[in-house]
Amino acid sequence: MTTTESLRSRRVPAVRGTRRAVLSVRVLVLGTGSAVALVVLCFASLAIGSQPFDPGTVVAALTAPDPNDAADAIIGARVPRTVAGVLVGAALGLSGGVLQGVTRNPLGDAGLLGINAGAAVAVVLAIFTAGVGSLTGYVWFALAGAAVATLVIFALAGLGPGRATPLKLAITGATVNAGLASVISGVLVSSSESFDAYRQWQVGLIAGRDWEQVLVVAPFLAVGAVLALASGPALNGLALGDDVARGLGQRIGLTRTLVCVSVVLLAGGATALAGPVAFVGLVIPHAVRALTEPDYRTVLPLCALLAPVLLLGADIVGRVIAPPGEIAVGVMTAVIGAPVFIALVRRRKLGAL
């Protein structure tokens, strides 16, 4: 071996070690920063609104609430809303991350692929045919609708020559999404009562959520989150292609089944609790990968931390920009998320996962 080759062989491991160290620092900084930001925003969510409160009042209401005090009652009512925002944000971030991994598609998102639309159609039909008007009823229909939509999308994308490629999944999801949207429109046009019940839910709201509603959905989101986080190593294998993943000993069918179950639980539960909330599941995984690396063992936990930051931040902004009312969080996430996503696309190739 020549002197040049010897130096080169020593330099490559050193460069890789330096790169891993830099990435580890980035992950630590992003994770710590997201956790701190989430805590700050949770506190801000309790303090900011049509009736603002100083930090001392918030702390007193949390530690020693007085049931006869109006301020304590208002802050107490904001607690389940804040918890709902954290749960919905984490669920949407995780579902977007695992969908982009299992489909190897940068546009993998429960909203764009029609999974949220499946949940929404089921909710509309529940309102129209059975008069369901409570979240306890919504959640079962939303989960069933999300499950059926997921099965239909993957089944249709797998038809014809070749497997369910990223392009076929994107086209099939967009087609199913458009078809389900037309079903929703047809039902709502024919029933003013269904329209009145649906329109408040459809814009994406966490306002007015109480503990009963949060606790109904929380178990589904918890199981979905466990399945999603456990799928990180398998998604890393799938990112190399099905043949390579099989060569590494992975059971592709089982992996995709578990991931789809997690997406149904996360997207269906989040949609039942807050309605369709756009862009969170699309933007956050892209942002995390742009700041760290495409290792799903790292990407998914960071998505679960960073997505609630976006959702709670959007909810707080929506409360203060149009007093005395507020703008729904689903509207604000679209307003904030769209330019962020465009900026991410301009910085890096959309297809680079």
Structure confidence by residue, pLDDT tens digits, 305-314: 999 999 999 9
Task: Give the global pTM.
Answer: 0.86
Local confidence band at 102 (pLDDT 50, 70, 90 cut-offs): confident
Q: Which range has the worst mean pLDDT, 50-64, 192-206, 249-263, 314-328?
A: 192-206
Here the tokens at position 151 are 């099965």
- Architecture of the 78-347 domain: Orthogonal Bundle (1.10)
Counts of helices then strands in the chain (DSSP H, E)? 14, 0
Predicted confidence band of residue 200 (pLDDT cuts 50, 70, 90):
low
Per-residue pLDDT tens over the stretch 7-44? 455 554 555 567 677 777 888 888 999 999 999 999 99
CA 286, CA 97: separation in Å to the nearest integer? 8
What is the band of 351 on the pLDDT scale with cuts at 50, 70, 90?
very low
Among residues 167, 200, 184, the alpha carbon closest in space to that of 117 is found at 184
User: Which has more pLDDT, 98 or 10?
Assistant: 98
Contact 103, 166 (CB under 8 A): yes
pLDDT in tens, 277-312: 888 888 899 889 888 878 888 999 999 999 999 999
Please state, as a whole number, how many other Cβ atoms lie within 10 Å of the Cβ of residue 107.
18
